[in-house]
Amino acid sequence: MIVAIDGPAGAGKGTLARRLAREFNLAYLDTGALYRAVGLRVLEMGADPADPASATHAARTLDVSGLDSPRLRDEDAADAASKVAAIPAVRAALLDFQRNFAKNPPSPCTGAVLDGRDIGTVVCPDAPLKIFVTASLEERARRRTLELQDKGIDAIQDRVLADMIARDERDRDRKTAPLAAANDAIVLDTTEMNADAVFDRAAALFRSRTGRIAD
Ligand code: DC
């Protein structure tokens, strides 16, 4: 069973994906972390994340063992991620790893949940369950600001909002695998939903698609 979760930044994809993974014994891949890791490596090399040669080199030689590093959650990593993600050769370099993870989830998991921007459209177009999670721009910026403040970062909502608009535009307007809901995705607008309500709705969809009940 493969669950594809896509949507813009701050919509609640990660929270939902992690919870589905725990509940249904699925392996979880945060594909944004791959792009963040590539972006960060380019910054650490002292290069420009928008430079195709540097970004492609970083993607082709990426070490996927450090994907849970807290440094990847920083806003400069997010910004660099969205720039490297617009480069077709970077996306191509990361595709096999994502597809392989989805098809051969690490044991003892019986399936996989991947979240990102193009999971339902490009990475796993045959996934039996695709969810596109979205929320209003203001709500997403509010959530992201609180998340940063919780981590002790002095975030200002107007600044977070401006960064989010720039990142949304880059993710939506790029030519290769732009942020988009697959035709067969179920769209969940979480603007007025809390995390429990989002999870309950997605879990009901999962159960009805698989005929499974939670362990
Ligand atoms: O989900 P996130 O905020 O960690 O993603 C960081 C950036 O990576 C995002 O701005 C766009 C890019 N990304 C992508 O292009 N495709 C994916 N499947 C996942 C993320």
Q: Domain map of the chain by residue range?
A: 2-205
Tokens (6 digits) for 168: 């949304």
**Per-residue pLDDT for 194 more than 80?**
yes
Q: ∠ at Cα 110 (14, 201), nearest 5°?
A: 45
Query: Where does residue 183 rank: exposed (0-12), middle (13-18), buried (19+ CB within 10 A)?
Result: exposed
- Please state the rounded mean pLDDT for residues 36-65: 97
Across the range 5-16, mean pLDDT stands at: 95
- For residue 215, report the distance from its CA to the centre of ligand 1, in Å: 31
Pairing of strands 112-116, 186-189: unpaired
pLDDT digits (tens, 9 = 90+) for 150-165: 988 888 899 999 999 9
Is pLDDT at 182 greater than 50 in this prediction?
yes
Q: Does the reported pTM lie above 0.85?
A: yes
Residue 22, amino acid: R
- From 19-33, 90-104, 127-141, 144-158, the region with the lowest mean pLDDT: 144-158
Alpha-carbon 127 to chain mean position: 16
Closest-CA residue, ligand 1 atom 18, reads 116
Check if the beta carbon of residue 189 is closer than 8 Å to that of residue 134.
yes
Which residue has the least CA distance to atom 13 on ligand 1? 32
pLDDT (average), residues 77-98: 96
The superfamily in CATH containing domain 2-205 is P-loop containing nucleotide triphosphate hydrolases (3.40.50.300)
